Amino acid sequence: MIEVQGLTKSYGDTVALNDVSFTVAKGEVVGFLGQNGAGKSTTMRIIAGSLGASSGTAKVGGFDVAEQPRKVQAMLGYAPETPPLYTNMTVGDYVRFAATLKGVADVDAATKKALSRVGLDGVSHRIIDNLSKGYRQRVGLAQALVHDPAVLVLDEPTSGLDPAQRIEIKNLIQELSAGDDRTVMLSTHVLSEIEAICSRVIIIHKGKLVAQGDLATLGGGAERKVHLELARPDGAIEVLKRVPGVTGVEHDGLRLVVTGERDVREAVAAAAIPFGLLSMQGQKLEDTYIQLTTRGTA
């Protein structure tokens, strides 16, 4: 549903995006990760059609964002980190206004449905300026959903929220992406949200794509790590080092960290069982993210 090919964006001598390519299939919920300034928002703005690329293409549903913007806008809902709200309007009037701009046939029905989906039924009469940030984020989601798009692009939807509000918005996104065959691309700095919501991850660093894959096997060019706890670690290190694909074993008391050039969990588990395997955990998303986004940094 989303196809990005060779995307590059420059601001004078500064290259914000450098030849980025990826695809997001229909029905996928994909997390988009990167440090501040990595190029996440730039990429999402180009996909949404609110920013032009210097070179490369972005397509949604087979339609080129630059050449067929109306086709793309009809099937895409975009919620930027700071929703573009008219804060002197009521919630209901604003979402109704968004529905009108998007050419929805039955504006009232669409508005009612969008407000209900994001839990704003009870505050539709309230002025947006008087809402908490969590509710403003919900209003931003309502405007992105009001035309029932097949694709949702959500840029830091939980940014600046307190823990309770984060949970509410996370649960809401899970509900929106479940069972509708809706394609969702989500950026956030909270890795636990990615692990709870997304099936696949794309990681960008300094304007370049550095890894992409499903949560179970993500690693790209990074080494895979397996964390073990053994009841009888003596002798285990030498055995584990001989497992095909294993490149190193670190030892800290009962705990070992096995590094592999690929996913070696099955072979490592078989080799570790005779030593009293108490627990085993594959490389966490956080480990991979830190590996890939700290290369070349001080």
Whether residues 230 and 82 share a domain: the answer is no
- Classify residue 289: in a domain, yes or no: no
Token pair 């001989």 is at which residue?
242
Whether residues 267 and 180 share a domain: the answer is no
Cβ partners under 8 Å of residue 10, min gap 6? 16, 54
Whether residues 196 and 252 share a domain: the answer is no
CA torsion, ordered 260, 256, 293, 137, to nearest 10 deg: 120
Could you tell me whether strands 14-24 and 2-11 are parallel, antiparallel, or unpaired per DSSP bridges?
A: antiparallel
Could you tell me whether strands 224-230 and 208-214 are parallel, antiparallel, or unpaired per DSSP bridges?
A: unpaired
- Classify residue 290: in a domain, yes or no: no
What CATH number should be reported for the domain holding residue 263?
3.30.70.100
What CATH number should be reported for the domain holding residue 151?
3.40.50.300
Give this prediction's pTM: 0.74
Residue 16: exposed, middle, or buried by beta-carbon count in 10 A (0-12, 13-18, 19+)?
A: buried
pLDDT band at residue 222, thresholds of 50, 70 and 90?
very low
> What confidence score (pLDDT) does residue 257 get?
87
> What confidence score (pLDDT) does residue 177 get?
76
pLDDT in tens, 7-39: 999 998 889 999 999 999 998 889 998 888 889
pLDDT in tens, 150-196: 999 999 888 777 788 788 878 888 887 776 678 999 998 777 778 77
Three-state SS sequence of 254-273: CEEEEEECCCCHHHHHHHHH
Number of domains, the chain: 2
d(CA 165, CA 153): 20
Q: What is the mean pLDDT of the chain?
A: 86
Whether residues 247 and 146 share a domain: the answer is no
d(CA 157, CA 140): 9
Of 289 and 104, which is predicted with more confidence? 104
Q: E strands within 166-282? A: 183-187, 200-205, 208-214, 224-230, 246-252, 255-260, 277-282
Which residue in 212, 211, 226 sits closest to 263, CA to CA? 226
pLDDT band at residue 234, thresholds of 50, 70 and 90?
confident
Whether residues 154 and 31 share a domain: the answer is yes
CA–chain centroid gap for 221, Å, is 20
Please report, rounded to a whole number, the percentage of residues in the chain having pLDDT higher than 90.
47
Cβ partners under 8 Å of residue 14, min gap 6? none
- Range 121-142 average pLDDT: 91
pLDDT band at residue 221, thresholds of 50, 70 and 90?
very low
pLDDT in tens, 35-74: 888 899 999 999 999 999 999 999 999 999 999 999 999 9
d(CA 64, CA 275): 57
Q: Which helix (H) or strand (E) holds 74?
A: helix 69-75
Domain boundary among 214, 249, 271: 214
Does residue 252 register a pLDDT over 80? Answer: no
pLDDT band at residue 295, thresholds of 50, 70 and 90?
low
Which residue in 65, 67, 14 sits closest to 44, CA to CA? 65
Whether residues 249 and 209 share a domain: the answer is no
- Classify residue 184: in a domain, yes or no: yes
Domain hosting 260: range is: 224-282
